[in-house]
Chain A
């Protein structure tokens, strides 16, 4: 893949990360040194951690908003890359070259950002909005979606609308679908799984932050 990138004229510093723990420091150091584009080579976990590092504005302020995110998916669990129309390594190299850029909303649970979704068991989960609350009376799943295309479950979210899609799917009864921008999630027994990689303790406030990250996307992305 490195040869392919060089052939396409995409030169840059390559850093191999030994473990997931040092991603944030490494990425932020490179941004500080002047990196304009960070390409995440890995799966959802890698992308999620790198996004967290890019948009952590506490350290570098507005400077970081100019940093672009590119993705080269490797291995399994690559739903984030798929949502951006990046199906494989070959695709990813051509997409990086084409440099089609989209500003994307991000979901926020507590201190953790997410691109795709946050999931929790529906039984015992409450969604509170101040004016009203929703409570599920059956086992199943609650998905809080920022960006995901799942035609099988009638999900086609839009990461430009400033809203999160809430999809509650019980085992037997009918599905619940609604769009919200800010709410609190509570569950005494369960935790919220963010982008399939981070477990967040509840209660937690969930919101959407508009146009927070600029991503290099493919033509076949799941949104317009």
Chain B
């Protein structure tokens, strides 16, 4: 079972925290862990991890390594590693993920696409092509 407390640990020393009273507009791209408790419109990207708080409202395409969502997102999501959707998460958009955890109550309006699965299929197709070429 997904342990929310443990997953929040890694955000204790987040370099970027956008509080509930803040509205961000534009392309917000960082390198460290990012916590969003406020409003964001545009795009959101980091090589590290993102935590979206329960009252956060994000209208943006999101890219991250790990992503924990408890708030609302309108836009597509691409998570290389681990995506966790809490019970209050509401997502309107397509979701690409490495690993996925969904808590009861989460809402998703969009396609769920496993990146690893897609990669594996791609690798199989490449291998088949190579075999055909060799023959």
Contact = CB atoms under 8 A, between A and B. Distances in A.
A168 B27 CA distance: 20
A172 B16 CA distance: 19
B24 A170 contact: no
Interface residues of B, number: 19
A138 B42 CA distance: 22
Contacts of B22: 134-137, 168, 176
Contact of B15 (A172, A173, A175, A179): A179
Contacts of B18: 134, 176, 178
Contacts of B20: 170, 173-174
A176 B26 CA distance: 17
Contacts of A170: 19-21
Contacts of B37: 173-174
A138 B21 contact: yes
A73 B27 CA distance: 44
B29 interface: yes
B125 interface: no
Interface in A163-191: 168, 170, 172-179
B102 interface: no
Contact of A178 (B17, B23, B26): B17
A57 to B, nearest CB: 32
A154 B52 CA distance: 21
Contacts of A178: 15-18
* Interface size, A (range): 20 to 34
B7 interface: no
Interface string A113-155: 0000000001000000101111111101000000000000000
Interface string B44-77: 0000000000000000000000000000000000
B129 interface: no
Contacts of A172: 21
A172 B21 CA distance: 9
B24 to A, nearest CB: 5
Contacts of A134: 18, 22-24
A171 to B, nearest CB: 9
A134 to B, nearest CB: 5
B21 A176 contact: yes
A75 B102 CA distance: 59
Contacts of A132: 24-28, 42
B38 interface: yes
Contacts of B27: 131-132
9 contacts: A133-B24, A135-B22, A135-B23, A168-B22, A170-B21, A173-B37, A176-B17, A177-B17, A179-B16
